[in-house]
Amino acid sequence: MAKGNSNKHICRELGMAEATVKFHVTAILRALKVTTRAQAIVAVNRLGLDLDALRRAGETAE
């Protein structure tokens, strides 16, 4: 999501249903109390989370 990928792209990359990706994206947005992906990135930055570290962790988990 942080890379700007669509739900369809994310589901293909992760090998899961698009509905599952949409569910998780919605849960993330709700948890951050935002309505858009752009707002989510801003919120994550404000929380001090390192998106690059999260991406690297995701890449090593694959």
- The number of helices, as runs of H, and strands, as runs of E, in the chain is 4, 0
pLDDT at residue 56 greater than cutoff 80: no
List the structure tokens of 42.
């801003």
pLDDT in tens, 2-44: 788 999 999 999 999 999 999 999 999 999 999 999 999 899 8
Give the Cα-Cα-Cα angle 17, 43, 4 (nearest 5 degrees).
40
User: What is the pLDDT, as a whole number, of residue 60?
Assistant: 62
Q: What does pTM read for this prediction?
A: 0.73
CA distance 8 to 21: 8
Spatial contact of 18 and 12, defined as CB atoms under 8 Å apart: no
The more confidently predicted of residues 60 and 19 is 19
**DSSP conformation class of 21:** H
